[in-house]
Amino acid sequence: MEKHRTRRLTLAAGLALALVLAMFPAQAFAEAAPREQPPREQSPENQTGDEFITLAIPLDTTMTNEQLVDFLMGPGVTVSNVSFVGLDEQKATFSGATAQVGFDKGILISTGEVTDVFNESVGIPSTDFGGPSDAQLAGLLETPMYTYDAAIIEFEFVPEFDTITFNYVFATSEWDQEPEFDDCFGLFVNGVNYALLQSGSPVTVQNLLGESGLITQPYPPTQGYLVSTENVNDFSFYARSVVLECTAPVNPGVVNHIRIGIIDVSDAVWDSALFLQAKSFSSQAPVMPPKEETAVSDLPPAPVPVTIPQTGDASVPLAIVGGSALLLGGGAIVAAGALRRRKTQLNR
């Protein structure tokens, strides 16, 4: 099914918004009124309420916050004090989604309904929950914007080693929209965001487009960080990021704090989603590079014992190594090639 896209702001409206944004800090926009929601297609597959939802990709929306985070945990980490900012409709686990997101199973959090993500019959994934802003996520934006519908997993953890890693994918309805609609993702470990692209920029719609060399508004955006899912069944977004890895320094053996969140920017509709790979959140010993072995041909030649006759009955065993003669028995040093004997006193 063709995935829909449209534009929402005229140039004049965009310029007006930019002027307003220049006058106020990000916090002033947290309670701004939402914009018009795009039309939503309806079919038996996406009716809610007393109807039913049939999804090809199984979702579990019944897990507790602790069960959700446990689904993410790999080796070397223990977790406590788990909380979630958002609604139950914004979080789930999924499985069997390799074709859609690049790995089989994991956690899904969204600024909209998670049941819309693997249900392309809805058209544009777009839900206005009237959800909160978040100052920490809003602070990632280069220009202050209205922010809405935050979905944030937060917990404390004790890592075994001094780094943690995990894998994730970002998807959005905003790829071909105006740059104001710059939905973003943050991963804050002990207060610092480590969800960064190679340039050091945070993970936002516009940064993913720009660092993929897609300055114009593409359709579909397929290069650099981005993968087209236009022809992928059972996926509502027409593009997603490649599978990205996040690595962050931590304090081993003590309690650390983490917040993983996603947020709508400039309006409360046109959703974005974050996929965290199951069992990929881990703290493991660094992998040491294999020790380089020296080839036999690169070794110096083995010592060759020789005997230099001395006056009297004594003899001095020597070894010729790499062009030099070394004394084995004590007393004589002979230069290889010249084999010139130095007189010495042998004490035997």
Higher pLDDT, 47 or 251: 251
Residue whose tokens read 């409709």: 89
- The reported pLDDT for the residue numbered 153 is 97
> Can you give the pLDDT at residue 21?
43
Strand, coil or helix: what is 81?
strand
SS3 50: coil
What is the percent of the chain where pLDDT is above 90? 51
Which pLDDT score, from 0 to 100, does residue 40 have? Answer: 47
CA 180 from chain centre, in angstroms, equals: 24
Specify burial of residue 89 (Cβ count, 10 A radius: 0-12, 13-18, 19+): middle
d(CA 134, CA 147): 7
Residue 205 phi/psi, 5° resolution? -55, -50
Is-contact 310 208, C-beta < 8 A?
A: no
Q: For position 306, what pLDDT does the model report?
A: 52
The answer to which of 10-14, 32-36, 234-238 has the lowest mean pLDDT is: 10-14
Query: How large is the average pLDDT for residues 283-310?
Result: 65
**Tens digits of per-residue pLDDT, 26-70?**
444 444 444 465 554 543 344 444 344 568 899 999 999 999 999
Q: Tens of pLDDT along 120-174?
A: 888 889 999 999 999 999 999 988 898 999 999 999 999 999 999 999 999 999 8
User: Are 285 and 177 a contacting pair, CB within 8 Å?
Assistant: no
Quick one: how far is CA 130 from the chain centroid? 28
305 pLDDT band (50/70/90 cuts)?
low
Phi, psi dihedral angles at 210 (to 5 degrees): -65, -40
Comparing CA positions, the residue from 1, 3, 303, 5 lying closest to residue 181 is: 5
The dihedral of CA 303, 307, 310, 316: what is its sign? positive
Kindly provide the residue ranges of all beta strands, DSSP E only, lying in 111-146, ordered along the sequence.
none
Higher pLDDT, 103 or 328: 103
| pLDDT surpasses 70 at 256 | yes
Q: Which of 87-91, 217-221, 256-260, 329-333 has the lowest mean pLDDT?
A: 329-333
What was the pLDDT predicted at 222?
A: 59
Residues 346, 331 contacting (CB under 8 angstroms): yes
Q: Would you call 293 helix, strand, or coil by DSSP? A: coil
Tell me the pLDDT band of 342, cut-offs 50, 70 and 90.
very low
For the purposes of burial, counting CB atoms within 10 Å of the CB of 132, is it exposed (0-12), middle (13-18) or buried (19 or more)? Answer: middle
Greater model confidence, 337 or 293: 293
Q: What is the pLDDT of residue 8?
A: 40
Q: Which two tokens stand for residue 276?
A: 């965290």
- For residue 348, pLDDT beyond 50: no
Residue 231 has pLDDT above 60, yes or no: yes
Q: What is the pTM of this model?
A: 0.71
Average pLDDT over residues 240-255: 96
Q: How far apart are CA 332 and CA 120, in angstroms?
A: 89
Query: Residue 18: which pLDDT band, with cuts at 50, 70 and 90?
Result: very low
* Confidence at residue 62, expressed as pLDDT on a 0 to 100 scale: 94
Q: What is the mean pLDDT of residues 314-323?
A: 49
Tell me the per-residue pLDDT of 194-222, one tens digit each, with 9 for 90 and over.
999 999 999 999 899 888 766 445 455 55
Burial of 111 (C-beta count, 10 Å sphere; 0-12/13-18/19+): buried
Torsion, Cα of 91, 92, 97, 98 (10° steps): 70
Q: Which of 272, 225, 252 is nearest to 127 (CA)?
A: 272
